[in-house]
């Protein structure tokens, strides 16, 4: 499952607004907003698009790189 805080953290680290990430990834801004709010899950294809735009591996969107996989 996509970690909502992780997506936002990576987006902000890249200094992208939701719109900029949308333009770079081809994922709608509305979808990105819903993902960050936890209102929907991301299909593998969507995770790959977002990861490519953010310059990370897809697994980094679903796991905490420090091993903590909780989304509190």
pLDDT tens digit string along 20-63? 999 999 999 999 999 999 898 889 999 999 999 999 999 998 86
pLDDT at 3: 82
CA angle 43, 47, 49 (to 5 degrees): 115
| Domains of the chain from N-terminus onward | 4-59 (1.10.260.40)
- pTM comes to 0.83
The CA-atom distances, in angstroms, between 16 and each of 7, 20, 32, 33, 66 are 11, 5, 12, 13, 23
Helix, strand, coil percent content, the chain, rounded in steps of 5 = 55, 0, 45
pLDDT at 69: 45
Half-sphere exposure of 14 (CA within 13 A, CB side): 20
């Amino acid at each position: 499952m996509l970690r909502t805080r992780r997506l936002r953290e990576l987006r902000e680290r890249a200094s992208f607004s939701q719109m900029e990430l949308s333009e770079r990834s081809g994922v709608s801004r509305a979808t990105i907003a819903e993902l960050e709010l936890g209102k929907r899950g991301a299909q593998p294809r969507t995770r790959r698009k977002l990861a490519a735009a953010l310059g990370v591996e897809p697994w980094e969107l679903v796991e905490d790189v420090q091993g903590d996989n909780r989304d509190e």
